[in-house]
Amino acid sequence: MCGITARVGTGAAIGELLSGLRNLEYRGYDSAGVATVTPDGINVVKHQGEIDVLCDAIDQSSVRGTTGIGHTRWSTHGPPTDANAHPHTDCLGQVAVVHNGIIDNYAELKDELSAHEFTSDTDTEVIPHLLEEFLSAGYGPEEAFRRTVDQLSGSYAIAAVFEGTDTVFGTRSGSPLVLGRASDAYYLASDVPAFLEYTDEVAYLHDGDVVAMHPDGYTITDTDGNSVDRPFETIDWDPNDAGKGGFDHYMLKEIYEQPAALRQAIRGRADPLEGRVEFEELPEDAFAGIDTVHLVAMGTSYHAALYATTLLSDRGIPAHAFLSGEYGSNPPPVDDSTLVIAVTQSGETADTLSAIRSIQGTGAHTLALTNVVGSTITRECENTVYIRAGPEIGVAATKSFSSQVATLILLSERLSYDTNGGTPRESSDLLSSLAALPDDVQRILDEPTAESVAATYHDADSYFFIGRGIAHPVALEGALKFKEITYDHAEGFSAAELKHGPLALVTANTPVFAVFTGRDDTKTLHNVKEVRARDAPIIAVTADRDTKVDDYADHVLRIPDTHHDVAGILANVQLQLVSYMAADMLSRPIDKPRNLAKSVTVE
């Protein structure tokens, strides 16, 4: 949620600031603004609405300066208005600040600053006024920044500029902030794509770090002012990966990137001939003594976690999936035989970080399953496994779900091997199906049939998605995608639950998507017959072999024949395509669905 970008160096800052803001649009926003430092002072331009509105205003304002900050705001305190947009300034216009997160004690601070004139509804505005107080007391910019941060409680990432200096100051606590280094400039941002076209050298700040970057270099210090080293690493994402690449939407591009993403997720980890799975990131004894697995996640990642519970249970490992937001508030009993797996694409999901922090000191072991190297979750957990999906810009997750599930299949195999005393399962068929998975996904993409289904049903009253076993989380994910980007009512259910309530809502104008994976299909087919008897249209997602389903379905979305543990990934690709096509026919803003954000960094 929200996006920060900042830049110091040679040449004008404004172009790179605007580019950074555009690259952060996927995080969700309803207003945007920039501030640059000029010889005449700080120049601020900000507006409600999209970045194009901001650009029009900037064209008329002759924004200058080589140092600046920018922000895309997703409203929390106060509605989306010009006044509530960031950056915010002090009474004298000598400071400009952008902020992600929530300042928990802003009301108390605002009372203490009653002599100042506040012009917005935001919690952020207390920051520049605090800075003004310390500057007026004679402190320099860096000390004023530190003393201000000491007054704040909550989660935040902050960047600030001061009149008369070409230094940008930044800090973080519970919200991401990344430093970028190029030959002629330094960058600060909420996420790497903001500056990826200018540099692939990044350093990840830790909570409590204070960075001061200027044209000639940077310093990073801890809360006590001691110098700390945050090593730079090279990101292997191609800048083109963060663009649309000729597709109409990021979501469609990322759907079509799934074969490549899956190859990356599987590469070097599975040996079908030996029936073995290895992760270079994990120590040999990573799962020694584990007898129970908890998976914590939110949204799409939660559906991947649910998928994994079936995989693990099939292998004799008790496993439970929890919504991170619930787990962090009331964690169940854990001990040193429990492995808690945090599933999060960004590695910055606030609820999931809280869930992991809630079991610190209990003896439970922790593992992060994430897409982003250096993200906060990788520092909070003992071990990390990367899904290797590359940058995902679309708010509606697609390739990250497929890569999460493929990686969780491999992880389930590794856990099974370790918990069975090193005895391999008969898994060569499964691993062979995983090896074929990228090509199987490509077959679906090369011969799309989803468009005709979307055209037939895109104006229905409501949509149901049903399945059993691993098909249940696929149904949940199919419904989530559909509602996220079409804005139409869609619900996912276990097929077993249908007659226990949801069947009352089925009508002739309620299309039902039924997911078949080659397991429990007979029972799911019975549920399809129940729906059919109520005149509801049936769209079956099924393998080529399941011809009996054809007798009861109005439409069939085919998936290649594969192992039943893998089939859910293929079924999900078909449902992604249906959601995308339906949303496109309805002219929805597919990459930026209303009220949603890519990286949810506040609870």
Predicted pLDDT at 543:
86
The tens digit of pLDDT for each residue in 400-454 reads: 999 999 999 999 999 988 777 555 555 778 999 999 999 999 999 998 899 999 9
Mean pLDDT calculated for residue range 200-205: 92
Top CATH class of 250-441 equals alpha beta
Q: Is the pLDDT of residue 601 over 70?
A: no
Give residue limits of the domains in the chain.
3-237, 250-441, 450-585
How are beta strands 31-38 and 67-73 bridged, if at all? antiparallel
Q: Is residue 235 predicted with pLDDT exceeding 60? A: yes
DSSP structure class, residue 535: T
Question: Of 46, 481, 592, 598, which one is the catalytic site residue?
Answer: 598
91 is catalytic: no
pLDDT at position 232 is: 92
Please tell me the predicted confidence (pLDDT) of residue 544: 66
Higher pLDDT, 393 or 304: 304
H/E stretch holding 338 reads strand 338-344
Peptide bond into 593 cis (omega under 30): no
Residue 487 has pLDDT above 80, yes or no: yes
Residue-level pLDDT at 531? 85
Cα dihedral: 94, 100, 103, 109 (round 10): 10
Cα-to-chain-centroid distance, residue 61: 35
Q: Is the separation of the CB atoms in 327 and 343 below 8 Å?
A: no
Per annotation, catalytic residue among 2, 46, 253, 381? 2
Mean pLDDT score of the chain, rounded to an integer?
90
Per residue in 293-309, pLDDT tens?
999 999 999 999 999 99
* Residue from 401, 419, 397 nearest 409 by CA: 401
Measured distance CA(602)–CA(193) in Å, rounded:
20
Instruction: Return the higher-pLDDT residue of 468 and 417.
Output: 468
Residue 514 has pLDDT above 80, yes or no: yes
> pLDDT value at position 596?
76
The mean per-residue pLDDT over the stretch 180-202 comes to 92
Segment of 41-50, 225-234, 293-302, 489-498 carrying the highest mean pLDDT:
293-302
DSSP string, 260-307: HHHHHHHTTTEETTTTEE--TTS-TTTTTT--EEEEEE-HHHHHHHHH
For the cut 90, the answer to whether the pLDDT of residue 521 exceeds it is: no
What integer pLDDT is reported at residue 4 of this predicted model?
Answer: 93
Beta-strand pair 201-204/233-234: antiparallel
Question: 60 pLDDT band (50/70/90 cuts)?
Answer: low
- 598 catalytic residue (yes or no): yes
The 10s digit of each residue's pLDDT in 298-345 is 999 999 999 999 999 999 999 999 999 999 888 899 999 999 999 999
The architecture (CATH level 2) of 3-237 comes to 4-Layer Sandwich (3.60)
Q: Where are the alpha helices (DSSP H) in 155-278?
A: 250-256, 258-266
- Do the domains 450-585 and 250-441 match in fold? yes
Q: What is the pLDDT of residue 577?
A: 97
CATH code reported for the domain at 450-585:
3.40.50.10490
Tens digit of pLDDT for each residue in 236-267? 776 666 667 778 898 999 999 999 999 999 99
Residue 502: its pLDDT value, please? 81
- What's the pTM value of the predicted model, to 2 decimals? 0.81
